[in-house]
Amino acid sequence: MSPAAFSVELFLLAGLAFVVLGSLGAAVVVALSSRRLLGLESRVRHRVLVGLAAAPVAVSTILLFSAVLPSLVSLFAPELDHCSAHDDGHAHLCFVHLPRAPLRVPALLVLAFGTSYVLARWALSGASIVRSSRLLRALSTTGLPTTSDVTILETPDTVCMAAGLLRPQVLVSRGLLARLGERGQAVVLEHERAHIRRRDALVTSLVRFCVPLHVPGIGTWLVREVEIAAEQVCDEETSARMGDRLAVAEAILAVERLAHGNQKEVVPAGAVGFGDCAVARRVESLLEEPKRPRSLRPLVFVLALALVAALLGSSSLHHTTESLLSVIAH
């Protein structure tokens, strides 16, 4: 193998280590503050949960960029290159000085297992999204478009969802509309249009894409809570537009009753459905006074400071990462 191939191995191993660091950080936050998270206003909670779901990707990207920043600088300012002070056995995370030895067998096995696991999970997730997209396209073509964003499916089953990642539309069954009153129909359609405005199907699919990078159990919890938070945000938006929180709660219960004992609403990847998602929590929330949303500015400020600190400390992070890789790899 060439030194360039050895360098790729080191970069992949560093990236995998940073992913693990981000996933462990997200797991710690969830374990220590899950109750507090669930007590947040739905819109704020949704944003925080999506951020936690993306933590392994974000942390790995930022730390890896910070760790290689000194090497990028040395490409344009060779006088700032510090790698020449190390011996040949040092693991260079560098574009200028390439490593001269491959990873040891244990490190290679860890790298191979980690990357294979993530790639396999991503492949399964991608295949599920492709199959679901084909199913949704088939459903939409068999339905009757009534407006630019609503298609009625000629089926007696209870179906109502906002489907599609890039060009979402509302799919609702004739059977459901026939059983709901005019007020219930308005609630259901407005709720699904809220999902479309928010691009919830796309956001949820991206969250699912991050699941393989999380500690087992944490990713599943995040996906479920992101979906529930999205439903509650759309419930609140629908209540505000219609001026009747009780009507939204009644529509949720009506759809749940209609689906009970019938063919349950099956919501594929790439779509978000109206019913069968934390019905009790959604109804209880609507029967209470709306929560006052907290500002996310303090959290954004702290994250911005952490980003600045990571970039300013790039030289130390670069040296520490290379030293750890030297122990692990060689």
pLDDT, tens digit, for every residue of 5-59?
777 888 888 899 999 999 999 999 999 999 999 999 999 999 999 999 999 999 9
Report pLDDT digits (tens) over 232-267.
Answer: 999 999 999 999 999 999 999 999 888 775 554 556
Question: Mean of the per-residue pLDDT values for the chain?
Answer: 85
79: part of which helix (H) or strand (E)? none
- Residue 330 has a pLDDT of 62
Domain extents in the chain: 1-103+295-330, 133-292
- Residue 91 has a pLDDT of 73
Check: CB of residue 104 under 8 Å from CB of residue 330: yes
Q: Across the chain, where does the E strand assignment appear?
A: 144-145, 150-153, 160-163, 169-173, 271-273
Q: What is the DSSP letter of 262?
A: S
Structure-token match 């290159």, residue found: 81
Strands 150-153 and 144-145: antiparallel
Average pLDDT by stretches of 10, the chain with 330 residues: 74 90 94 92 95 94 91 76 62 71 80 89 85 79 77 87 87 90 92 94 91 91 94 95 93 86 58 74 91 87 92 88 79
CA distance 53 to 40: 17
CA distance 166 to 80: 46
Q: Which two tokens stand for residue 177?
A: 């509309």
Residue 123, sorted as left (phi over 0), alpha (psi -120 to 50) or beta, turns out to be alpha
